[in-house]
Structure 1
Amino acid sequence: MAAQERERRIQGIHRLALRVPDLPAAQRFYRDVWLLSDQGRDGAFEAFRSSAEDHDDVLLVEGPSQIAHLAFAVASPDDLDAITSRLEAAGFSFKRIADEAMFRADAAAAVALDPDGREVWLVVPRPGTVTAVDALPLAPHRIGHIVLWTPAQEAAERFYTLLGFAITDRTNAGMSFLRCNADHHSLALMKSTKGKTGLQHIAFDVGSLDNVMRNFARLRGLEVECAWGVGRHGPGNNVFSYYTDPAGNYIEYYGEMELFDADAPVETRIWGPEHKGDVWGLAGVPPLGFRE
């Protein structure tokens, strides 16, 4: 791929839209426990914002627990044209979103289905679409990465590399880590032997080990059980703690993610069976639903 083509890539996660079976419970959790800013309604969805974002990055709507769509930011309309042309040339169809059907954080958008049938939005953002608020000190800064189950890992990797992702690391457990900016990964794919295609987890960046630990103490004070952690991952080197939201989704607070030069190639590393998910050896075994 030519250097100019490599620049025509997605910039990172724009938002995650989730269907949840108990919308009021999910709203309370993401506002009062997870400390996202409640931005009211955007169409049929309830909108929330992480503290460092200038747009809604979590959307919730009533329904069976699943991803409604996953949206990635694209720098310009020209980049959007280039990426959708790559998809089309590779046999993936897409459709442009009409102005009246877009969310308030979107200036232009196209949507495609990945090989597992998930709706993937490519969005040229419309900045400054939320009310400025004083963020709470321990509020998450942003969605840093999303991990998806896939029974067809090679096909999923092929699709997401067309968007501009590159493989950073792989693990013996069947996980591939994909980067599109300076972060070690913004997306990861977890191979499922049981046909699962849903959300494996959402990860929110809180910046530092101290903030992971302070949030761990805060949630413990709220009697919110930690599902896994605290520990430090090998791939990405980030400190982590995992919880579940009322819909049963695994969600992570993390800090200190490994960073790279966004435009420099990185040789893919392989993590063998000796890697158990936590290089400190403190977190214990991850929950069953998280790993199979």
Structure 2
Amino acid sequence: MKERLITHLRHVDLAVPDYDKQFEFYTTMWGLTPAITDEGIAFLAAAGSPEQYSVRLRRAAEKRLDLIAFGASTPDDVDALAERLAADGVQLVTSPSKMQTPGGGYGFRFFDNDGRTVEVSAEVEVRAHRKVEAGESVPVKLSHVVINSPNPEATVAFYERHLRFALSDTLMHPRMGSMMWFLRTNRFHHSLAIARGPHVALHHASFEMRGIDEYMRGTGRLLRAGVEKVWGPGRHMAGNNTFSYFLDPHGNTVEYTTELEQLDEDTWHPHLYDFSDPMVSDQWGTANPMNELVARQSFNDPDRGVFVAPPV
């Protein structure tokens, strides 16, 4: 089996029509810090993360997921992955080269099987970050990204075959079959998950908090401010992490989480969890029930950026 060359998740990039409203939400309400801003583009960092930014916002006529970015260890690994993908017939958007985004580095972009733009990079300059203190309800880092696919089996196979992601667990329903696959590229239970959905779209982006207290403080801050809650607070079975899902001003689902499980990859065996069991959805029993309304919010709008590379 070919070696795994992707090491971790870096950032998620969103295009939004109402840029000012989104910028206000992600900085003032969600707790990210503007690292660099320019006309119609902002790179927003998480306080505890060495990544240059965790979210990039771009002003655009239509809402879309611009890209998902992952890290690699070395430029040689970037080159090797690009060569592997090209040899397998994957469409490259750019060839490996010096990057122009904050922190520089060396990377390339390609389309996955659903037409999302994915970026892989190495040697991005480490950002000066800090320890998030007790009681601070701001994100430590971007934890994971979940995407919707109308053909999730093929999308899971793409990430397993071409990028060497490993399956951690699967959620299923007795009437609907397999519904969500949790994929990892390091010891964390998942940095990417793929959900069955009616169209290609972002399902949600999740941000790690310092601990349970900070997670609950952040959840409470958003509730008090009237931000629309989708689901939570609770604790999932798969990944054993906490969850509170909210909608950003453009209807993207974003999550506060903490305590995502770390696995012994040599001994881990994937579970098949039946999420009609309330304990699977929420071990605590504190969240609102998972129902069709909650699921529909996470379907999001159809992504207008399929097989169209972002301009930046």
Contact 1:115 1:152 in 2 (8 A): no
Give the structure 2 partner of residue 124 of structure 1: 122
Gaps of 5+ in 1: none
Q: Map 1:14-29 onto structure 2 (within 5 A).
A: 14-29=10-25
Shift of 1:24: 0.3
The DSSP-based 3-state class of the residue aligned with 2:209 is: strand
Give the partner amino acid of 1:56. Y
Shift of 1:108: 0.5
Deviation readout 1:18-47 (Å, 9 max, x if unpaired)? 011210001100110011011232686211
The DSSP-based 3-state class of the residue aligned with 2:170 is: strand
Give the structure 2 partner of residue 62 of structure 1: 59
Contact 1:146 1:202 in 2 (8 A): yes
The DSSP-based 3-state class of the residue aligned with 1:234 is: coil
Q: 1:206 aligns with which of 209, 214, 217?
A: 209
Deviation readout 1:235-271 (Å, 9 max, x if unpaired)? 101011111111110000001111113x525222101
Contact 1:102 1:109 in 2 (8 A): no
The DSSP-based 3-state class of the residue aligned with 1:172 is: strand
Q: Map 1:161-240 onto structure 2 (within 5 A).
A: 161=160, 162-173=162-173, 174-192=179-197, 194=198, 196-240=199-243
Gaps of 5+ in 2: 174-178, 300-312
Q: Tell me how far apart the structure 2 counterparts of residues 132 and 255 of structure 1 sit (CA, whole Å).
A: 19
Deviation readout 1:42-75 (Å, 9 max, x if unpaired)? 6862110011223112100112221011110111
Is 1:256 paired with 2:248?
A: no
Corresponding pairs, count: 283
Q: 2:32 aligns with which of 20, 29, 36?
A: 36
Q: 2:111 aligns with which of 113, 137, 150?
A: 113
Give the structure 2 partner of residue 275 of structure 1: 277
Contact 2:48 2:130 in 1 (8 A): no
Q: Tell me how far apart the structure 2 counterparts of residues 140 and 273 of structure 1 sit (CA, whole Å).
A: 27
Report which stretch shifted further, 150-159 or 276-285: 276-285
The DSSP-based 3-state class of the residue aligned with 1:128 is: coil
Q: Tell me how far apart the structure 2 counterparts of residues 81 and 44 of structure 1 sit (CA, whole Å).
A: 32
Shift of 1:175: 0.3
Q: Map 1:82-121 onto structure 2 (within 5 A).
A: 82-94=80-92, 95-99=94-98, 102-121=100-119
Contact 1:9 1:165 in 2 (8 A): no
The DSSP-based 3-state class of the residue aligned with 2:79 is: helix
Contact 1:110 1:121 in 2 (8 A): yes
Give the partner amino acid of 1:39. A
Residue 272 and residue 133 in structure 1: after superposition, are their counterparts in 2 closer, same or farther (change >3 A)? closer
Give the partner amino acid of 1:264. D
TM-score for the superposition, normalised by structure 1 = 0.89
Q: Tell me how far apart the structure 2 counterparts of residues 26 and 20 of structure 1 sit (CA, whole Å).
A: 7
Shift of 1:289: 2.1
TM-score for the superposition, normalised by structure 2 = 0.84
The DSSP-based 3-state class of the residue aligned with 2:22 is: helix
Deviation readout 1:139-179 (Å, 9 max, x if unpaired)? 10111000000012122112212212101111114100000
Give the structure 2 partner of residue 154 of structure 1: 153
Identity of aligned residues (%): 30
